[in-house]
Structure 1
Amino acid sequence: MRVYLPATTTVLRTLVDEGRLAGPHTAFAVTPVLRQHYAVSDAEADAEELEYAALLTAARASLRLLDNDPLAPRRRAVVAADVPDDAVAALDEPHIDAGAVRVSADIGMRDVASVHLDGADAEEDVRTAVAVVLEADLGSDDAQFVVDQAEGHELAWYATQELGPLLDLL
């Protein structure tokens, strides 16, 4: 199953240096709850859109992680990884984002399909969003507007072999 793991550049550095991220992990995937949330009935036709929605939800969670990682550059990061289906359990609770899953397994570099990361042009908007993301989660329209500014930046796609050199530039 393809999962989207929210991360920071600190987490990405651990992945590169250690070759794995020790589980368990909270991630996002195309689950029945995510399908229902987006009211998608034709799974085949909309699979790519649903995967993109899971990626964006992970990017939002990355903002929350950045709030706890003050030394990391202010860039959202998401690791797309393929893990065994039996290592994934859906978290279908009302207060949890649609598509949330618990991954019991380690995620090794060999499992990583791609990494998605904000560019330098997003840093100021991400920095501002990190300061208010929890308020946005609690329903503040003003905070949501700020978070929307950060989420308006497209995440760049990187292959696993690009990750080490990319992190060395940050």
Structure 2
Amino acid sequence: MRIYLPASLDELDPASPPLSARRAHAVTPALRAMFPDEDDEGLEYAAQLAAADDSLVLLGERRDAPQLRCVVSADVADAAVLALSDDDDVPSAVELTRAVPQADVICAHVDEPAAATDVALAAGGDEAAAARLDERDLLWYDASELGSVPR
């Protein structure tokens, strides 16, 4: 199963331990039901955007981390993911129950460095900054490029 894991850039350093188990996002039956006319690519994008929002929450808790949204894409065994059934959760939310080794990371989607000010403000609760981030696309980096992502 492809998951979209909210992360911080410092978690992608080559010497970092595996990405810990946490809430992630995926194309779930609930997401498909919410967008019945959307194709797989559109559903994956919706899950990625939800993970980017969760990355802001993570960065709000980790002010020492580079203040850029980061979403890690990884393929994990279906058994490593539990569906969340809380009505308050977004329909793509899942619980990752196992750590993801760095070797299993496929790619990451990261803000460009110019977004850092808005990311820091949005992570602190600034709704105007969050709205500006909604207008920004995350940049794609292959797993082999993660050590050279601008910060």
**Structure 2: 5+ residue runs without aligned partners?**
none
Matched residue, 1:99: 92
Q: State the AA in 2 paired with 1:49.
A: G
Matched residue, 2:58: 65
Check the 8 A contact 2:73/2:105 in 1, yes or no: yes
Secondary structure of 2:4's counterpart equals strand
**Structure 1: 5+ residue runs without aligned partners?**
134-142
C-alpha distance in structure 1 between counterparts of 2:129 and 2:118, whole Å: 8
Check the 8 A contact 2:12/2:102 in 1, yes or no: no
TM-score normalised by structure 2 residue count: 0.91
C-alpha distance in structure 2 between counterparts of 1:114 and 1:6, whole Å: 12
How far did 1:165 drift? 2.5
Check the 8 A contact 2:23/2:96 in 1, yes or no: yes
- The CA RMSD over aligned residues, in Å, is 1.7
TM-score normalised by structure 1 residue count: 0.81
* Selected match of 2:112 from 108, 112, 119: 119
Matched residue, 1:136: none
Identity of aligned residues (%): 38
Larger helix fraction of residues:
1
How far did 1:26 drift? 1.2
Q: State the 4+ residue runs in structure 1 displaced beyond 4 angstroms.
A: none
C-alpha distance in structure 1 between counterparts of 2:87 and 2:3, whole Å: 20
How far did 1:19 drift? 5.4
How many residues align structurally?
151
